[in-house]
Structure 1
Amino acid sequence: MKRVLQLMSLVVACWAAIPAMAAESQSTEPAAAVADGKTTVVQTDTGSSTQVVAATAGATGTAPNVTVVNKGRTVATDLLERFVSWLHRFFPQVDDQLFHWIACGIIVLLAVVLRHLITNIIFFYLKKLASKTETTLDDKLFPAMETPTATLVMVVGIFAALTVLQLSPESDVLIGNSAKMAILAVIVWGLIRAGGALLDHLEEVAHGRQMTVATFMPLIKKTLLVFAVILGVLIILDSVGAPVKVFLTSLGIGGLAFALAAQDTIANLFGSFVVVMDQPFRVGDTVRIAGQVGTVEDIGLRSTKLRLVDKSLLVIPNKSVASESITNLARFARRRVEQVIGLTYDTKPEQLDTMVADLQKLISSQPEVDPASVMVYFRDFNSSSLDLWMVYETPDPDFRKHMVVRQRLNLAIMRLVESRGLSMAFPTQTIQFDGPVARQLAAAKTPAVPQAK
């Protein structure tokens, strides 16, 4: 484990050193080239630093020596010049222009070899070593860093090769700015991938410990990714002298117009933060929102998605979720059943008394029912029935198990009523007429009794 941590620290240190090497460090060297004999001095302004290129003719038949003296030199420039000077010793008789192309090809070839070394050897053994550790963080971190590291090597190699060509002062400025942007873009990409691997590991740990925050890790990852991309773009633009500060200042003026144009989007965004902070439900919970019952499939920055019973997908804006009353059907501590059964009015009081006792015994005998919660009473004289009121609770909140118990009890109650010779009541009405009109109608419907002869 110590070796893995040391290797991870080394990788992070190397990544942190790259921007420092690319940063400009001011030099106290004079902005002049002193040459002996025939010397050509060209001074160019590269924006952030002034270059003085001195080309001095060497001995007869030898290639000219080329040096670059910067007022604002960089570590990378010094290393590149030393490498080119050292390489020139092996090609003393080669024409200067041809030598630059040879040096360009050698640098690209070295970048390819180094990339192969990093991906096929270094990271291969790092991943092999990570597979033997207990933690899964290194198993996610090393694969995430492999591609950006290899890409960074190739980007640095290509731009170093282009710099060696010394095409023109204008081209050098363009190559320098492009190199800054490309290197910073790869670094930001690598850091985002590393951060994503870290968040994946945290999500895995949160799920393993059944932490509430695990449900909202996808939302947190999306939010951090957006901010990381925006910050990376601003850093890249600032590195090439873009007016980022002016842009950020102008946001204060344009922010009002943006807020007015994006009221719903901002309201949904704040609604998502309310859902994350309050945590009324998680992904996978069955909830009732805005009169709809469904299973939560996704909690996004703009909306929450519910899969309804008919398998259709309902998308609810988060501002509505934050303002609606929410019933979380998945967070029952236990489930309570309240039922009323009606018996016909021809049921005798003794039969009702016996029926109440039998129902109490029947419900309490079920293993899934809490006996202390069972209540059965003859409660009401309804318009067409004698109502028995029943209440019981099942400690297991699982909906399917609860419905199985409820169905079994309902069937048992029907059999019990039938075995006692009683009947379930249903709404009926009996209308009685009285008076002369009623007697005439009754007489008209009464068949005549035949007379005996």
Structure 2
Amino acid sequence: KLAGKDSTATDTAAVKGETEQALAQLEEVISWRKVILVIIFFIIAYYSTVFIGKILDNFSERISKYRLKIKRMVPIVRVIIWTLAIYIAIAGIIQPPYATVITVMASVGIAVGLASQDVLKNLFGGIMLILDRPFQVGDKIQFAEHYGEVQQIGLRSSRIVTPGDSVVTIPNGELIRTAVSNANSGALDCLVVTNIY
């Protein structure tokens, strides 16, 4: 047992040493100029997502035929923009050594995974909602005691508007885990019998 504890302590110390070495190399690569450029780049990426989201919303209101399809594109466009922004910031601006990136990402991934399990659960839930599409913007859904029209499907949460005009924000992790009733599911056409005079 003592030997096992010693080996575990040695492994932990080795990982800690590698992480500290990688961070030291990263400090040599990163300069204040690069940090400022990354911040500016992320600000541009943020406003780009807002701007493109508004453009798509305007298009969806003008072209009613493709309204739902255009609104479904908004979260996908956000994911693409932020993925490209992070990649360009790391590979294009900071340009750290490959080994340093792997070591730091592994350490940060473990730390972030432990510290933000709920956030990650909601993010994965948002991705699953985009891919699986159990409901879409404009559908009437029942979730727990909440009923209303889906207004937005985001990466972390989704919003529905109740008949009383209240906006309910629901974490995507809960939407994936709990049963959701979709009143708009099924065929979009039906037979109607009426009297003509």
Return the TM-score normalized by structure 2: 0.60
The equivalent residue for 1:299 is: 153
Rounded Cα–Cα distance in structure 2 between residues aligned with 1:251 and 1:273: 21
Structure 2 unaligned regions, length at least 5: 1-31
The equivalent residue for 2:7 is: none
Rounded Cα–Cα distance in structure 1 between residues aligned with 2:178 and 2:77: 26
**How far apart are 1:262 and its partner, in Å?**
1.3
Where 1:330 maps in the other structure, the secondary structure is: coil
What per-residue deviation string (whole Å, max 9, x for no partner) do you get for residues 248-292 of structure 1? 422113312211211111111111111111212221221111232
Where 2:184 maps in the other structure, the secondary structure is: helix
What per-residue deviation string (whole Å, max 9, x for no partner) do you get for residues 167-203 of structure 1? xxxxxxxxxx969x96xx78xx69x96xx87xx68x9
- Runs of 4+ in structure 1 off by over 3 angstroms are 207-213, 242-245, 331-335
> Could you tell which deviates more after superposition, 209-218 or 298-307?
209-218
- Aligned AA (1:286): K
The equivalent residue for 1:311 is: 165
What per-residue deviation string (whole Å, max 9, x for no partner) do you get for residues 303-361 of structure 1? 111111222111111011112222222346489xxxxxxxxxxxxxxxxxxxxxxxxxx
Equivalent of 1:326 in 180, 187, 196: 180
Equivalent of 2:93 in 213, 236, 245: 236
The equivalent residue for 2:82 is: 226
**How far apart are 1:214 and its partner, in Å?**
2.6
Superposition map of 1:49-448 within 5 A: 210=66, 213-234=69-90, 235-238=92-95, 242-243=96-97, 245-331=99-185, 333=187, 367=194
Rounded Cα–Cα distance in structure 2 between residues aligned with 1:229 and 1:288: 36
What per-residue deviation string (whole Å, max 9, x for no partner) do you get for residues 127-147 of structure 1? xxxxxxxxxxxxxxxxxxxxx
Rounded Cα–Cα distance in structure 2 between residues aligned with 1:250 and 1:178: 21
Decide whether the 8 Å contact of 1:294 with 1:307 is kept in 2: yes
Where 2:160 maps in the other structure, the secondary structure is: strand
Rounded Cα–Cα distance in structure 2 between residues aligned with 1:245 and 1:231: 16
- Aligned AA (2:94): L
Decide whether the 8 Å contact of 2:68 with 2:137 is kept in 1: no
Where 2:125 maps in the other structure, the secondary structure is: helix
Return the TM-score normalized by structure 1: 0.28
Structure with higher helix content: 2
Where 1:309 maps in the other structure, the secondary structure is: coil
For residues 208 and 244 of structure 1, do their structure 2 counterparts lie closer, same or farther at Cα, with a shift above 3 Å needed?
A: farther
Structure 1 unaligned regions, length at least 5: 1-176, 336-365, 369-453
What per-residue deviation string (whole Å, max 9, x for no partner) do you get for residues 399-443 of structure 1? xxxxxxxxxxxxxxxxxxxxxxxxxxxxxxxxxxxxxxxxxxxxx
For residues 283 and 211 of structure 1, do their structure 2 counterparts lie closer, same or farther at Cα, with a shift above 3 Å needed?
A: closer
For residues 211 and 277 of structure 1, do their structure 2 counterparts lie closer, same or farther at Cα, with a shift above 3 Å needed?
A: farther
Name which structure has the greater RCO, CA cutoff 8 Å, separation 6+: 2
The equivalent residue for 1:393 is: none
Where 2:118 maps in the other structure, the secondary structure is: helix
What per-residue deviation string (whole Å, max 9, x for no partner) do you get for residues 7-61 of structure 1? xxxxxxxxxxxxxxxxxxxxxxxxxxxxxxxxxxxxxxxxxxxxxxxxxxxxxxx
**How far apart are 1:247 and its partner, in Å?**
3.4
Decide whether the 8 Å contact of 1:271 with 1:322 is kept in 2: yes
What per-residue deviation string (whole Å, max 9, x for no partner) do you get for residues 61-115 of structure 1? xxxxxxxxxxxxxxxxxxxxxxxxxxxxxxxxxxxxxxxxxxxxxxxxxxxxxxx
Report the number of matched residues.
Answer: 147
